[in-house]
Chain A
Amino acid sequence: SAVISQKPSRDICQRGTSLTIQCQVDSQVTMMFWYRQQPGQSLTLIATANQGSEATYESGFVIDKFPISRPNLTFSTLTVSNMSPEDSSIYLCSVEYRREPQETQYFGPGTRLLVL
């Protein structure tokens, strides 16, 4: 599988600030997604990052809190806005590849966020 990288790998932020997380893939992908994994819990889909248009958000997640960009087929950003301690989590991007005939998602290493 191709290489998926995320920056930063971890960060500690103050309440009320915002953090932008980057996801870079080394080849073109059809789909990119953003997930959250809260401490001790499973993964929850935040949104699908659509290239050239607004992201598609899941129930409970809104654009004002989690703005997403996807300017091309290999890059996306997720911003966690106006952070509170409840946003402390691991944020992961995942991708589906154009060359794969079946929808299979591959995950990046994640960004571990702690909000004080």
Chain B
Amino acid sequence: AQSVSQHNHHVILSEAASLELGCNYSYGGTVNLFWYVQYPGQHLQLLLKYFSGDPLVKGIKGFEAEFIKSKFSFNLRKPSVQWSDTAEYFCAVTAYSSASKIIFGSGTRLSIRP
């Protein structure tokens, strides 16, 4: 069965620090990969997605993620975080054969110290 692992449950950083949130998935076939963000009191928003092509994907608000097929990973990065990046971040996967069925990771809570 497919699964998604986010090993960092809570990350605390100072403003201007660099960010990398880990995401690993288990599925041997073709996958589509997503990062969603949930800001406090707001609904889930799509941050970026990967379907094919360049494995380095750029999203909104300066975020990017790199798909490394050999490592089954899709880590999220941002070179310099801001206080407004405080949120919950969810990695998600759909298997090409399962079309729309999304499997979510457990989420990583990011807290930024001003």
Contacts and interface: CB of A to CB of B under 8 A. Distances in A.
B100 interface: yes
Interface extent on B, as a size class? 20 to 34
Contacts of A31: 100
A48 interface: yes
B71 interface: no
Contacts, number: 44
Interface residues of A, number: 20
Nearest to A43: B104
Interface string B85-99: 000001000100001
Contacts of B32: 102-103
A45 B93 CA distance: 13
A53 interface: no
Given A42-B107, A102-B32, A107 B49 contact: no
Given A103-B32, A109-B43, A110-B43, A42 B102 contact: no
> Which 4 A-B residue pairings sit nearest by Cβ, starting from the closest?
A107-B44, A109-B43, A42-B104, A43-B104
